[in-house]
Chain A
């Protein structure tokens, strides 16, 4: 393990320790409700970036994976009263399988065609759930969650810590993909797929792996959301909002490094939470629109790019 690797894992351990400490000490539950939403977006944006950022394949189907994750959890809860960790685990497996399947079906498509195929898949997935009466169909379903596991005294705190762990897993995976042969291959795909293929890069295999990892993480993020809301209906679970947010957060943060989506999700997620409980209204949607336009126009490399530019300027300024 390199020096940077050690620091990463120390940071990750500190992060989880902090989440647990918060859950044990802080009494104000709002912290966890709002925190949950932001952590959930970190996982989604990170997962999106593995395929969208590294390989340049723009996935519009984040909400398809997320929704399937939600409904996997509901199915397991209704059919077997499965505990949370099982729900997340199975959702991840389902997500990986779904990612692989979709990859096989659509990865021959390039550019915007791939994006449109993922939109189609979202609508098909939603229609399937609408027609599946066992999980509530179009009516939606309300459920009561299982009792909380000690040492936590409330379910939301437990969900918060679980999500924190999920964030670490997602980021670690993204970091691994980025630094490994896989990541280099994906970047080659993004820069020039034809050239990469003729140089002997197994592009299809690489893309499939990326698709599976990304899908598994998105589905895994959906599962705890079912327990968070204790309610699900297809319209909310497959909301286009998840797709747009995951994409927007990655772009605003910067797609070239794993820290980008994390920063983007924290920035956009907390701004939205803050706006919801302050000026609350159309302005909230407007801010998302303006932020998207501003960032892609003025800071095409996202926050990472801004910081790098600043860094360089500081570097030049000092002798």
Chain B
């Protein structure tokens, strides 16, 4: 059932899906990629943001607008999370890895349960003018919601790349990722900078969560399906590279969609994760690693 038209379709759609993957991973690219915080609660926060967008949808607020509205709250949440993490693990020294991981797993479970208690277990979707419609690009019909995800992902990674390279704080964040001690010598406070960066990473999740519920229906335990996917994108990209995250997302998206259309869809997850293993095996620092 091979045809050039289907292949073209698959590639175009794969790019869209890939950008969506990049958008949901980019927060993690900061928190885990740049700051070395093993934030496995990232997908849970994502789902939490989706429920926020759903809740605001009751007041006829567009989900993407809702994402922006939730940003300050998520920023604060991120600052608090990092504060706790820093006080309990980073301060105490070297063995933060395993325990930090367990800590964030715990947080993820707590978020899951809170969502279940507050909203029940039913899956939720939102309404917006761009959901359920499509546009034609290159003779390929693309769902508008995927286009929304695509645009937001591009703008997000562009904005973050600019922020990290052009602004003072942005550069400080990258500096903290590379050499914390040097920064300290220069009189800056690395903890305050990291806290700020983690706040931004979490604020970005608010927007990404809104995208998630635009693209697919959301239920409380959806985060588990995204742990593998988001970390896969971030690691494949090379830690902390924003544009790399975009490219890695697209590679993953295209690979998945081509397998889905051309071969057996059953094999799709194995393909993307084999890809990850290959990247790790050949180039452990990722495609765009520092």
Contacts and interface: CB of A to CB of B under 8 A. Distances in A.
Given A123-B273, A282-B117, A251 B106 contact: no
A248 interface: yes
Interface string B253-290: 00000000000101101100110110011001000000
B97 A286 contact: no
Nearest to B221: A285
B270 A127 contact: yes
A121 B277 contact: yes
Contacts of A168: none
Contacts of B98: 52, 56, 58, 247, 251, 255
A222 to B, nearest CB: 20
Contacts of B102: 247-248, 251, 292, 295-296
A106 B109 contact: no
B224 interface: yes
Contacts of A126: 269
B76 interface: no
A290 B235 CA distance: 29
A296 B103 contact: yes
B38 interface: yes
Contacts of B97: 56, 58, 111-112
B99 interface: yes
Contacts of A296: 88-89, 99-100, 102-103, 106
A248 B101 CA distance: 10
Contact of A119 (B108, B113, B227): B227
A119 B266 contact: no
A120 B89 CA distance: 27
A169 interface: no
Interface residues of B, number: 42
B266 A116 contact: no
A240 B277 contact: no
Given A119-B228, A120-B228, A127-B266, A109 B99 contact: no
B88 A285 contact: no
Contacts of A56: 95, 97-98
A111 B281 CA distance: 14
Contacts of A127: 266-267, 269-270
What is the interface of chain A mostly: helix, strand, loop, or mixed? Answer: helix
B200 to A, nearest CB: 21
A23 B9 CA distance: 62
B110 A289 contact: yes
A300 B92 contact: yes
Contacts of A240: 224, 227
Interface in A106-148: 106, 108-109, 111-113, 115-117, 119-121, 123-124, 126-128, 130-131, 138
A120 B113 contact: no
A172 interface: no
Interface string B148-181: 0000000000000000000000000000000000
A128 B235 CA distance: 23
A290 B280 contact: no
A116 B270 contact: no
B68 interface: no
Nearest to A52: B98
B251 to A, nearest CB: 15
Contacts of B32: 112
A314 interface: no
A288 interface: yes
A297 B88 contact: yes
Interface in B76-117: 84, 88-89, 92, 95, 97-103, 105-110, 112-113, 116-117
Contacts of A293: 103, 106-107, 110
A128 B270 contact: yes
A123 B269 contact: yes
Nearest to B121: A282
A285 B223 CA distance: 14
A26 interface: no
A294 to B, nearest CB: 8
A113 B108 CA distance: 20
Contact of A113 (B264, B269, B270, B280): B280
B231 interface: yes
B267 A120 contact: no
B280 A109 contact: yes
B232 interface: yes
A120 B276 contact: yes
A251 B276 CA distance: 28
B110 A286 contact: yes
A196 to B, nearest CB: 14
A18 interface: no
A95 B99 CA distance: 26
Contacts of B101: 58, 112, 115, 247
B110 A113 contact: no
Contacts of B117: 282
A289 B106 contact: yes
15 contacts: A108-B281, A116-B231, A124-B274, A127-B266, A240-B224, A244-B105, A248-B102, A251-B98, A251-B99, A285-B112, A288-B106, A292-B109, A293-B107, A293-B110, A300-B99
Q: Pick the 3 closest A-B CB pairs, nearest first.
A: A289-B109, A292-B106, A293-B106
Given A105-B277, A106-B280, A289-B108, 20 more contacts: A58-B97, A113-B280, A117-B276, A120-B228, A120-B232, A121-B273, A123-B270, A123-B273, A124-B274, A127-B267, A248-B102, A251-B102, A282-B117, A283-B113, A285-B113, A286-B110, A289-B106, A292-B109, A295-B102, A300-B99
